Amino acid sequence: MTKARFSEFGKAQKWIRRGASLQHFRWKYFPDRSIPSSLQALNRVVFQYLAEPLCHPARSAYVNLFAPCEILHAFDLYPMFVESLATFLNGFSCEDLAVDQSESSGLSETLCSFHKTFIGGAERGALPKPLFAMASSVLCDANTKTFLHVAKRLGIPALLIDVPYTPSPEAVRYVSDQLQDVVKQVEDISGKPFRIDRLREVLALENETKRLMAECLEALALKAFPNHLTLEMGRLMLTHTGIGRPESSQCFQALVRDIRNAPPRSGKAIFWIQVIPFFDPTLRARFNYASDYQLLGMDINFDDLEPLPLDDPLFSLAKKIVNHVFNGPFNRRIDWILGLMDRLKPDGVVYFCQWGCKQSSGGAAMMADALKTKGIPCLVLDGDAADRRNMPQGQTKTRVEAFLEMLP
Ligand code: SF4
C-alpha cells in the first residue's frame, strides 16, 4: 500500500493543481455564505494565489516567506510559496511521502518538515518546476541551502539573498546591491525588462495594504470576529508573498469593514506565535469559526506594518528585509510581541515550537517568561505543522484544553 502510494505520489502534481484551481472556482462562484463576505474573499484569494503558479510554472518562481516578492510582481511573475505548498500537500494527506523521500535521499530527520516536504515534493515531481528559485536568509538560514539544493536538482537558477544578522546601514547597502543583481538576473531569465515605476506601483499598493492591516489590528482589539486556522495560515500569502497585489489590498479593505461591524469582543481571545498545525482536531474544534475562543491571529501576519518610501524602491526593499523584526537577536522579537500584546490585549498566547525549527524552540522559554511578566498566560506547544506524524493528538488535546480552561 505504501509502495503504491509512493509511486502515485509522483503524479500528485496534477491533483494538487486541480485541487487548488477547483477550490478557487468554488470560492469564486459558490462561496460558503454562512461566513462573513471578507472571509469568503480571503478564501478565494488564497486559492487564487496558490493556483496561479501551479497552473503557470513557466511564469513562476519558488519563493520563501521572506523573499522580496515585490520584484516578482513588478515582472508579473507568480511566487510559488513553498511553505504553503508544503501545507497544501499536508491537506492532501501526502506530506509523509515527501518527507520520507527527503529522508531517504540523506536529509536529516531533524530538518524542519516544511523544508523536507518541499524538497521531497519537488524531487518526486509532485511540485512543478518553475523558472527559478528565490529566497532570503531572514529568520531561517536553512532556506538558502534548501533552495540551492532543489534548484540544483531541478536545473534552475537559484537567486539567494544573504541578509546580515545585525541590522545596520552597511547591511542595507549590501542587500540593496544584491537586489540590483537579482533584478538583472530576473530580466535575463524571464526575458522581460525591469520597470522601476512598476515596482513603485507595487510598493504603493503594499503601503495601502499595510495601512489596512493596521486598521484590522486595531479593530480586532475590540471586536469578536471569527477566524479559521487554515485561513490564518493562508493569510501569509496576502501579508507576505502576495503583498503589493490589488487582491490583497481589496481583501483587507473588506476585512476592516467586517471587523468594525462585528459585535464587541466576547469569550476568550487567543494570540498565536509561530506556524499553526491547522489539521489538529482539538485546535480545529476549539478555534475554527468559534465564538467562545477567538483566534486573534498569528504573529507572522502582523510582522511588518511600516510603509516603504517610494523614491528608491530597491533600497526600501533592502531596508525592509534587513530591519525586519525577525532578523537579529530574539529580544527584538520579544519587544515587538509585547508591544503587539498591548494593542491586541489577548487573554492568552500559544507559542508553537515547530519540529526542526531552531529559532522557534530556541526562543520559546524567553518569550513565555516575557509574556508572563506582563500577566499574559502562555502555552508552549511542541509539534509539527507540516508532518502530522510529529503532532501528538492526545498530548495536544490535554495540554490545550487544560490551558484554555485555566485562562482567567
Ligand atoms: S518553521 Fe522554522 S525552520 Fe521551518 S521554514 Fe519556518 S523558520 Fe524555517
Q: How many domains does the chain have?
A: 2
Query: Which whole number is the average pLDDT over 201-227?
Result: 97
Query: Which whole number is the average pLDDT over 399-403?
Result: 97
Asked if 274 and 299 touch (Cβ cutoff 8 Å), the reply is: yes
Residues 140 and 111 in one domain: yes
Which residues lie below 8 Å from residue 173, measured CB to CB, with a gap of 6+? 318
DSSP 189-202: HH-----HHHHHHH
Interval between CA 114 and ligand 1 midpoint (Å): 7
Which one of 176, 194, 212 terminates a domain?
A: 194
Asked if 245 and 53 touch (Cβ cutoff 8 Å), the reply is: no
Q: Looking at residue 1, what is its pLDDT?
A: 45
Residue 100 has pLDDT above 50, yes or no: yes
Average pLDDT, the chain: 95
Query: Which whole number is the average pLDDT over 64-81?
Result: 97
Q: Looking at residue 87, what is its pLDDT?
A: 87
Residue 201 has pLDDT above 90, yes or no: yes
- For ligand 1, atom 7, which residue shows the shortest CA distance? 140
The whole-model pTM stands at 0.95
Residues 225 and 186 in one domain: no
Banded model confidence at residue 4, pLDDT cuts 50, 70, 90: low
Residue 11 has pLDDT above 90, yes or no: no
Residues 215 and 325 in one domain: yes
Residues 242 and 190 in one domain: no
Q: For residue 139, which atom of ligand 1 is closest to its CA?
A: 7
**Model pLDDT for residues 158-173, shown as the tens digit of each residue:** 999 999 999 999 999 9
**Model pLDDT for residues 246-301, shown as the tens digit of each residue:** 999 999 999 999 999 999 999 999 999 999 999 999 999 999 999 999 999 999 99
**Nearest by Cα to 351 from 252, 269, 273, 254:** 273
Pocket of ligand 1 (CB under 6 A): 112, 114, 139-140, 142, 275, 354, 357, 359-360
Q: Looking at residue 6, what is its pLDDT?
A: 62
**Nearest by Cα to 278 from 234, 231, 349, 230:** 230
Which CATH number characterizes residue 107's domain?
3.40.50.11890
Residue 318 has pLDDT above 90, yes or no: yes
Residues 206 and 93 in one domain: no
- The domain of 378 spans 197-406
Which residue carries 474544534 as its cell?
285
Which residue carries 489596512 as its cell?
212
Residues 273 and 300 in one domain: yes
Banded model confidence at residue 91, pLDDT cuts 50, 70, 90: confident
Residues 26 and 110 in one domain: yes
Residues 65 and 129 in one domain: yes
Residues 207 and 179 in one domain: no
Task: State which of 110, 272, 278, 360 you would mutate to test the pocket of ligand 1, scoring each by most atoms of that ligand within 8 A of its C-beta.
Answer: 360
Residues 235 and 91 in one domain: no
DSSP 222-277: TB-----HHHHHHTHIIIIITTTSHHHHHHHHHHHHHHHHSPBP-SEEEEEES---
Banded model confidence at residue 131, pLDDT cuts 50, 70, 90: very high
Query: Which whole number is the average pLDDT over 29-40?
Result: 97
Q: Looking at residue 5, what is its pLDDT?
A: 67
Residues 91 and 219 in one domain: no
Residues 170 and 279 in one domain: no
Which one of 194, 229, 245 terminates a domain?
A: 194
Interval between CA 181 and ligand 1 midpoint (Å): 26
**Model pLDDT for residues 350-362, shown as the tens digit of each residue:** 999 999 998 899 9
Which CATH number characterizes residue 324's domain?
3.40.50.11900
Residue 92 has pLDDT above 50, yes or no: yes
**Nearest by Cα to 80 from 49, 47, 102:** 49
Which one of 169, 194, 219 terminates a domain?
A: 194
Which residues are registered as beta bridge partners of 383?
A: 354
Which residue carries 538560514 as its cell?
141
Query: Which whole number is the average pLDDT over 9-29?
Result: 89
Interval between CA 108 and ligand 1 midpoint (Å): 15
Q: Looking at residue 304, what is its pLDDT?
A: 96
